[in-house]
């Protein structure tokens, strides 16, 4: 029996909770991303932070796109998975020495740097290895992404990037350091952006900045607009593949590239979210006086997004055909925020049923923890079962 796209009998044989990745959907998503990128001349770097599962990484790397990393661990994992080092960018406000050294040893494309002290350290470590490190400066464009406060990054109050007024001096600073080469600008305003028009103020801010830099005689070879394209958590089956075309056409239309400039982007969530489902088993159904609870064996340790960001993930009972009823779907963790979804209408549920927590491929498995000394969730590609 299969329900929707789920091979129920095969899923039933696995120890829950676990992540189930639809490999065919992931492939189709990356192909669609690539086709739009080729059409509009974007160079995509998959944001490894969204999902660094080895098999997922390998599948994405096999399409030849680049990677965006935010730690030494991610750089090493990306190289191991087969991403070409010359397509790897490395961002992060707090890169430590070993991480910078690992990236230098891996011969990555560039460091997305965010502060003067960081530039000094990259210069010094590159010097010791007799290398020149390519630098893109991360600029804080002070553009509101209109998304959840915890995933907005491009405002002056955020810790990320270099403020616009300090940029010309910072570029001069890079140019004065022997082992660094200034190659471009990096931006990222936030994540889960569902209205493509939100990217227009970013494009306009970049155009304005480019005008000023051009007037000052600064050459910028690369523009990296970061990630941020959102997905439909409400209707994963109706929108399995995000609107890469709309996103890229909006940016192409509003961002005025200068001759010879290359345009990079760093999609994370949009690449992996819809292919991933957290499969969890119902341990107990508990009837309260006003509510009934489906207590499941996954918790906020397996998928923290609802607890951390009040995020909505659609939840379906994939093993029941009984008439729908309302349940609060909750985990077993000793925290009152360990709730996946309140008043969720799903098929009549009993102990042993499997629930599918949808759109969990991004920032799901990778953010799992061992709090309460729980085991980490398992993970399978559909092709493995």
Residues that bind ligand LLP (CB under 6 A): 47, 49-50, 68, 91, 151, 153, 188, 191-192, 226-229, 266-270, 305, 309, 363
**Minimum CB distance to ligand LLP smaller for 301 or for 320:** 301
Taking the complex as a whole, how short is the minimal distance between the CB of residue 310 and ligand LLP, in angstroms?
11
Taking the complex as a whole, how short is the minimal distance between the CB of residue 308 and ligand LLP, in angstroms?
7
Taking the complex as a whole, how short is the minimal distance between the CB of residue 92 and ligand LLP, in angstroms?
8
**Minimum CB distance to ligand LLP smaller for 50 or for 346:** 50
**Minimum CB distance to ligand LLP smaller for 57 or for 229:** 229
Taking the complex as a whole, how short is the minimal distance between the CB of residue 128 and ligand LLP, in angstroms?
27
Taking the complex as a whole, how short is the minimal distance between the CB of residue 49 and ligand LLP, in angstroms?
6
**Minimum CB distance to ligand LLP smaller for 79 or for 303:** 303
**Minimum CB distance to ligand LLP smaller for 115 or for 347:** 115
* First-to-last C-alpha distance (Å) of the chain: 14
Taking the complex as a whole, how short is the minimal distance between the CB of residue 323 and ligand LLP, in angstroms?
33
**Minimum CB distance to ligand LLP smaller for 5 or for 158:** 158
Taking the complex as a whole, how short is the minimal distance between the CB of residue 104 and ligand LLP, in angstroms?
20
CB 160 within 8 A of CB 188: yes
**Minimum CB distance to ligand LLP smaller for 162 or for 318:** 162
Taking the complex as a whole, how short is the minimal distance between the CB of residue 199 and ligand LLP, in angstroms?
12
Query: By beta-carbon distance, which residue lies closest to ligand LLP?
Result: 227
Q: Is 51 exposed, middle or buried (0-12, 13-18, 19+ CB in 10 A)?
A: buried
**Minimum CB distance to ligand LLP smaller for 273 or for 318:** 273
């Amino acid at each position: 029996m299969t329900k929707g796209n789920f091979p129920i009998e095969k899923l039933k044989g696995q120890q829950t909770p676990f992540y189930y990745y639809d490999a065919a959907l992931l492939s189709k998503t990356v192909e669609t991303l690539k086709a739009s990128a080729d059409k509009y001349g974007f160079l995509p770097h998959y944001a490894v932070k969204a999902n660094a599962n080895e098999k997922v990484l390998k599948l994405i790397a096999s399409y030849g796109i680049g990677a965006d990393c935010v730690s030494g661990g991610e750089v090493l994992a990306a190289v191991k998975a087969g991403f070409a080092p010359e397509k790897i960018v490395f961002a992060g406000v707090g890169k430590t020495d070993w991480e910078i050294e690992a990236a230098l040893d891996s011969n990555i494309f560039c460091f997305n740097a965010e502060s003067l002290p960081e530039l000094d350290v990259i210069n010094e470590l590159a010097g010791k290895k007799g290398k020149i490190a390519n630098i893109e400066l991360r600029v804080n464009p002070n553009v509101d992404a209109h998304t959840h406060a915890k995933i907005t990054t491009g405002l002056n109050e955020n810790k990320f990037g270099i403020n616009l007024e300090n940029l010309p001096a910072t570029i001069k600073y890079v140019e004065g350091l022997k082992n660094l080469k200034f190659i471009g600008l990096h931006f990222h305003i936030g994540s889960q952006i569902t209205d493509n028009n939100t990217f227009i103020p970013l494009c306009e801010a970049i155009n304005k900045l480019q005008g000023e830099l051009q007037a000052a005689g600064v050459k910028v070879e690369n523009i990296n607009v970061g990630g941020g394209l959102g997905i439909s958590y409400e209707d994963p089956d109706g929108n399995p593949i995000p609107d890469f075309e709309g996103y890229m056409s909006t940016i192409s239309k509003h961002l005025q590239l200068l001759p010879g400039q290359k345009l990079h982007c760093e999609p994370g969530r949009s690449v992996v979210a819809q292919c991933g489902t957290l499969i969890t088993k119902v341990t107990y159904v508990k009837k309260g006086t006003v509510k009934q609870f489906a207590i499941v064996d996954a918790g906020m340790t397996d998928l923290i997004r609802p607890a951390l960001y009040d995020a909505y993930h659609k939840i379906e009972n994939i093993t029941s055909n009984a008439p729908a009823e309302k349940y609060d779907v909750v985990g077993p963790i000793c925290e009152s925020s360990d709730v996946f979804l309140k008043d969720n209408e799903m098929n009549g549920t009993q102990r042993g049923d499997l629930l599918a927590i949808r759109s969990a491929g991004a920032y799901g498995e990778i953010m799992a923890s061992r709090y309460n000394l729980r085991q980490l969730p398992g993970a399978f590609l559909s092709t493995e079962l």
